[in-house]
Structure 1
Amino acid sequence: MSKKNSRRSFIKRASLTSAALSTSPFLLAASSNNRLILSRSYTHQEFSANNQINIALIGTGIQGIFDTQAALKVNGVQLVAACDLYTGRLERAKELWGQGIFVTRDYREILNRNDIDAVIIATPDHWHQTIAVAALNAGKHVYCEKPMVQNFNEGQEIIKAQKNSGKICQVGSQGMSSLGNEKAKQLYEEGAIGDIVMLDMYNDRYSAEGAWQYPIPPDASTNTVDFDTFLGNAPNVPFEPKRFFRWRNYQDYGTGVAGDLFVHAFSTLNYVISSHGPNRALATGGLRYWKDGRDVPDVSITLYDYPKTETHAPFNAAFRINFIAGSGGGGGFKLIGTEGEMEIGQNSVTVNRSKLSMTPSGYSLISFTEEMQQKIKNEYAAKNLEPRSSSLSTGTTTWEAPGDYKGAHYDHFNNFFTSIRSNGKVIQDPTFGLRAAGAALLANESYSRKQPVNWNPTEMKLM
């Protein structure tokens, strides 16, 4: 790559392209303290009974239900089957979607059915790779919840299975498809914040539910829960309801706060700035409050290094999770650049720009005589040291989703089903999914080793 083909030339090319769009690019139209409404248009199409996409849900827990509810809002999609290892969830599936759906504890019965076109995999993390590969090999399209894998070495098998099958595989970080992410990408490519120098991401929680202390039904027993199958390739342990219903709290079945929450941020970040991800991570943290048998931290801080690429300057990223934030909780995702900062949410984007002061103030002039102070001010004024020639305005501008926006979750499934019908490309394929998961898993690797770890984001390998 020549030096001329740099980050700034990328920005320039993107800006020229964006300037021709009808969305009033930030370079031309942003103004101070403005609030603008974004738009999303959908193509409404009716489908006959013979042209429906039949789906099945594998893993009828919290996220599986939310996924299915979002999927069924897309025209031409119907649920025909559900699978779970707890009998009560199969009963709940029939309550939600009708007594006529097929239910089973064995996901293989789902994959053997000829009337199922696609599956949603919303199981604990340690089952993702096994079921995703089996589903693709069985000729099913796959929507796999994030993180795509529990371990680094599992990703290539899913990538290979998807390519060999020719089926569509979407990874479920739904924010990827949001209006907020889409606008943020456009603004970044237009140069709205200049060269990125830092990312600040945090997620603070202050509730038992937010810390994954999910309710355990009083009928939980070896009769109602297939615990042996749940364990899968994890170590064999006696039946313990907490491990089944609160699996995120255990390394054997989940991926901790990094795999559950960092991965969303990496999906957004890598999409917005067109990056493959970081090449180095250093993590710290600990179990500070929720000492309920879990073996993963409830406080986690990880610093990441992103190398220079054609689409971004080298920068640093700080990811922080706190499950016992006494302030009450909250979250943020902020890209900080040389010319501004961008706060990104699924339904909004805010860009804030200030003037860069290059002249000395009274603080540094105080040791000079008043005559010398004036001479120094005159010299600085004559030099015009402002290094930026950008036409962007200063101040704050916010773009918001309209009131009738269907949401990121709908958009992500709409992208999935549209790709199935058109044999097109999804926004988060297995390669993208592995890069997002791999970056998140670096936090666990560094925390375990108690040292920095290196990663090749292009080849998706630990170094």
Structure 2
Amino acid sequence: MKKNPSRRSFLKKATLGSAAMTSAPFLISASEGEKVLMKRDYLDEQYTANDQINLGLIGSGIQGIYDTRAALSVSGVKLVAACDLYSGRLDRAKELWGDDIFVTRDYRKLLNRKDIDAVIVATPDHWHKKIAVDALKAGKHVYCEKPMVQRWQDGQEIISTQKSTGKICQIGSQGMSSLGNEKAKQLYEDGAIGEIVMLDFYNDRYSAEGAWQYPIPPDASPDSVDFDTFLGNAPEVPYELKRFFRWRNYKDYGTGVAGDLFVHAFSTLNHVISSHGPNRALATGGLRYWNDGRDVPDVSITLYDYPKTDTHAAFNAAFRINFIAGSGGGGGFKLIGTEGEMEVGQNSVTVRRSKLGMVPGGYSMVAFTEATQEKIREGYAAQNLETRDSALNIGGTTWEAPRNYKGAHHDHFYNFFTAVRGKGKVIQDPTFGLRAAGAALLANDSYYKKSPVDWDPVSMKLM
């Protein structure tokens, strides 16, 4: 569907009354700092033990635990099994969810269980494709952590397997189903910022944990850690606990900052503006501080080109990650348009619209005589370039989630389980997941090749 995100269409909608009341407040008055509450409605359904969705967790590490907690916050879901290659995590799973859950180091044993309806795949990236495909073929619905694949070439197998099995597969970029994304998409399509010109995304961190130096438990040993299975299809290397517990630091198992962080931004961006993604990337960066054996950069800057489509103008996107940000850390995601900017978070969206200066000021007029300056001013005044309406329709409004909002992570699992029950569609299917992952992974391709790379966002492959 073609969109017309212009000031004229936005102002028209804002004056139509109830059809666009959520967009109207900052247009009706030129106030700054106005706040509006967003709302989320959930189906209020009760489920018996016979109706519940039985869940299995494959990869009971940090993200796996957070995913499971979010999943169990949805009514009618029960965890019945967990799998991990470190026995201490299986002990932790029982500690969190009961001694009666089934635990194993072999994910195939979990998939063979008839009492499991759906699985979370929260393993290292290099295992995502294999386990997701096996789970779908075993008749399980799949929630697969982002990035969907470690290599873009592996994505089509997940897409085709999902289609052939008919099972639900949702990719787990946990902010995707948030109130913030939902409102940002509506505002963009209403023309809140005009035509998009640029995206500015950054994530600054200033801690060892934020730089993936995760703790290694004292009981980790060849007996408690199945390192050989962990390697999977990665190159064979000697047993090393850092590689197992800090796998994000190695391109053999992870996808660097691109797959861990860029992919979230691409998921939101592509969703908000209804895009297939960029067609070109140029990356730079380096390993500036965390010289702990990792072979991926801790500072990364990537510039992306988006082509013009029916839903957006051609624009540029800047993605920046810094794992040694002496400022103390922080992050941002901002869409910048011809008529305003929109800052998007999971729990809030802020739109700011400013007046575009069209009449020359003192800086350029200084070169002319007073008489000439007066004639120039009269000429601009006759053109009426700065109307009263343009001066009134400026200001800022923030849409905020209510205090009792259950959160984006809950909403993403709510979306997944609603689809599993046949009452809706997932918001991030494997095709969407590959477009987000493929775009993010262009940063790695460009960084290691030391040159720009071109991408076909429709067919989802390198050019």
Q: Structure 1 residue 443 and structure 2 residue 432: aligned?
A: no
Note the C-alpha offset of 1:374. Answer: 1.5
Q: Structure 1 residue 380 and structure 2 residue 380: aligned?
A: yes
Deviations 1:325-361 (A, max 9, x none): 0010100000000000001000011111110111010
Note the C-alpha offset of 1:81. Answer: 0.2
Mapping of residues 97-116 of structure 1, within 5 Å: 97-116=97-116
Is the Cα–Cα contact under 8 Å of residues 10 and 311 in structure 1 kept in the other structure?
no
Residue type matched to 1:94 in 2?
A: K
**Aligned match of 2:274:** 274
Residue type matched to 2:23 in 1?
A: F
What is the TM-score normalised by the length of structure 2? 0.96
**Aligned match of 2:358:** 358
Is the Cα–Cα contact under 8 Å of residues 19 and 25 in structure 1 kept in the other structure?
no
Looking at structure 2, the residues matched to 235 and 386 of structure 1 have their Cα atoms a distance apart, in angstroms, of 64
Q: Structure 1 residue 86 and structure 2 residue 86: aligned?
A: yes
Looking at structure 1, the residues matched to 456 and 14 of structure 2 have their Cα atoms a distance apart, in angstroms, of 31
Q: 1:24 aligns with which of 6, 21, 26?
A: 21
Note the C-alpha offset of 1:387. Answer: 9.3
Is the Cα–Cα contact under 8 Å of residues 177 and 411 in structure 2 kept in the other structure?
yes
Looking at structure 1, the residues matched to 158 and 280 of structure 2 have their Cα atoms a distance apart, in angstroms, of 24
Deviations 1:189-242 (A, max 9, x none): 010000000000000000000000000001111100000000000011111000
Residue type matched to 1:125 in 2?
A: D
Looking at structure 1, the residues matched to 393 and 126 of structure 2 have their Cα atoms a distance apart, in angstroms, of 49
**Aligned match of 2:165:** 165
Q: Structure 1 residue 324 and structure 2 residue 362: aligned?
A: no
Is the Cα–Cα contact under 8 Å of residues 57 and 120 in structure 1 kept in the other structure?
yes
- Judging changes above 3 Å, is the alpha-carbon distance between structure 1 residues 52 and 383 closer, same or farther for their aligned structure 2 residues? same
Deviations 1:79-99 (A, max 9, x none): 000000000000000000000
Mapping of residues 84-163 of structure 1, within 5 Å: 84-163=84-163
Mapping of residues 141-290 of structure 1, within 5 Å: 141-290=141-290
Looking at structure 2, the residues matched to 387 and 454 of structure 1 have their Cα atoms a distance apart, in angstroms, of 43
Looking at structure 1, the residues matched to 82 and 366 of structure 2 have their Cα atoms a distance apart, in angstroms, of 74
Is the Cα–Cα contact under 8 Å of residues 18 and 25 in structure 1 kept in the other structure?
no
- Judging changes above 3 Å, is the alpha-carbon distance between structure 1 residues 206 and 13 closer, same or farther for their aligned structure 2 residues? closer
SS at match of 2:219: coil
Looking at structure 1, the residues matched to 49 and 11 of structure 2 have their Cα atoms a distance apart, in angstroms, of 43
SS at match of 2:54: strand
SS at match of 1:427: coil
- Judging changes above 3 Å, is the alpha-carbon distance between structure 1 residues 84 and 114 closer, same or farther for their aligned structure 2 residues? same
Residue type matched to 2:403 in 1?
A: G
Is the Cα–Cα contact under 8 Å of residues 26 and 396 in structure 2 kept in the other structure?
no
SS at match of 2:399: strand
Note the C-alpha offset of 1:25. Answer: 3.6
- Judging changes above 3 Å, is the alpha-carbon distance between structure 1 residues 356 and 90 closer, same or farther for their aligned structure 2 residues? same
- Judging changes above 3 Å, is the alpha-carbon distance between structure 1 residues 388 and 279 closer, same or farther for their aligned structure 2 residues? farther
Please list every run of 5 or more consecutive structure 2 residues that lacks an aligned counterpart in the other structure: none
Looking at structure 1, the residues matched to 341 and 430 of structure 2 have their Cα atoms a distance apart, in angstroms, of 30
- Judging changes above 3 Å, is the alpha-carbon distance between structure 1 residues 17 and 455 closer, same or farther for their aligned structure 2 residues? farther
Is the Cα–Cα contact under 8 Å of residues 192 and 392 in structure 1 kept in the other structure?
no
Residue type matched to 2:370 in 1?
A: E
Note the C-alpha offset of 1:371. Answer: 2.1
SS at match of 1:136: helix
Looking at structure 1, the residues matched to 438 and 233 of structure 2 have their Cα atoms a distance apart, in angstroms, of 20
SS at match of 1:26: coil
Is the Cα–Cα contact under 8 Å of residues 27 and 391 in structure 1 kept in the other structure?
no
Looking at structure 1, the residues matched to 93 and 170 of structure 2 have their Cα atoms a distance apart, in angstroms, of 23
Residue type matched to 2:70 in 1?
A: A
Looking at structure 2, the residues matched to 380 and 77 of structure 1 have their Cα atoms a distance apart, in angstroms, of 66
Note the C-alpha offset of 1:375. Answer: 1.6
**Aligned match of 2:370:** 370
Bigger Cα displacement from structure 2, 426-435 vs 389-398:
389-398
Looking at structure 1, the residues matched to 227 and 331 of structure 2 have their Cα atoms a distance apart, in angstroms, of 35
- Judging changes above 3 Å, is the alpha-carbon distance between structure 1 residues 444 and 130 closer, same or farther for their aligned structure 2 residues? same
Identity of aligned residues (%): 74
Deviations 1:17-69 (A, max 9, x none): 99675661425764422111111122221101100000000000000000000
- Judging changes above 3 Å, is the alpha-carbon distance between structure 1 residues 13 and 369 closer, same or farther for their aligned structure 2 residues? closer
- Judging changes above 3 Å, is the alpha-carbon distance between structure 1 residues 408 and 223 closer, same or farther for their aligned structure 2 residues? same
Is the Cα–Cα contact under 8 Å of residues 28 and 392 in structure 1 kept in the other structure?
no
Residue type matched to 1:191 in 2?
A: G
Is the Cα–Cα contact under 8 Å of residues 18 and 186 in structure 1 kept in the other structure?
no
Is the Cα–Cα contact under 8 Å of residues 259 and 441 in structure 1 kept in the other structure?
yes
Please list every run of 5 or more consecutive structure 1 residues that lacks an aligned counterpart in the other structure: none
Is the Cα–Cα contact under 8 Å of residues 353 and 396 in structure 1 kept in the other structure?
yes
- Root-mean-square deviation (CA, aligned residues, Å) is 2.1
- Judging changes above 3 Å, is the alpha-carbon distance between structure 1 residues 91 and 15 closer, same or farther for their aligned structure 2 residues? farther
Looking at structure 2, the residues matched to 213 and 48 of structure 1 have their Cα atoms a distance apart, in angstroms, of 43
Is the Cα–Cα contact under 8 Å of residues 18 and 190 in structure 1 kept in the other structure?
no
Segments ≥4 residues shifted beyond 6 Å: 387-392
Bigger Cα displacement from structure 2, 55-64 vs 27-36:
27-36
Is the Cα–Cα contact under 8 Å of residues 27 and 392 in structure 1 kept in the other structure?
no
Looking at structure 2, the residues matched to 358 and 271 of structure 1 have their Cα atoms a distance apart, in angstroms, of 33
Is the Cα–Cα contact under 8 Å of residues 305 and 316 in structure 1 kept in the other structure?
yes
Note the C-alpha offset of 1:6. Answer: 7.0
Note the C-alpha offset of 1:256. Answer: 0.1
Looking at structure 2, the residues matched to 121 and 176 of structure 1 have their Cα atoms a distance apart, in angstroms, of 17
Residue type matched to 2:278 in 1?
A: P
Note the C-alpha offset of 1:14. Answer: 12
Note the C-alpha offset of 1:142. Answer: 0.1
Is the Cα–Cα contact under 8 Å of residues 6 and 191 in structure 2 kept in the other structure?
no
Residue type matched to 1:46 in 2?
A: Q
Note the C-alpha offset of 1:385. Answer: 2.5
Residue type matched to 1:142 in 2?
A: V
Looking at structure 2, the residues matched to 107 and 21 of structure 1 have their Cα atoms a distance apart, in angstroms, of 52
**Aligned match of 1:403:** 403
Bigger Cα displacement from structure 2, 232-241 vs 10-19:
10-19
Note the C-alpha offset of 1:372. Answer: 1.8
What is the TM-score normalised by the length of structure 1? 0.96
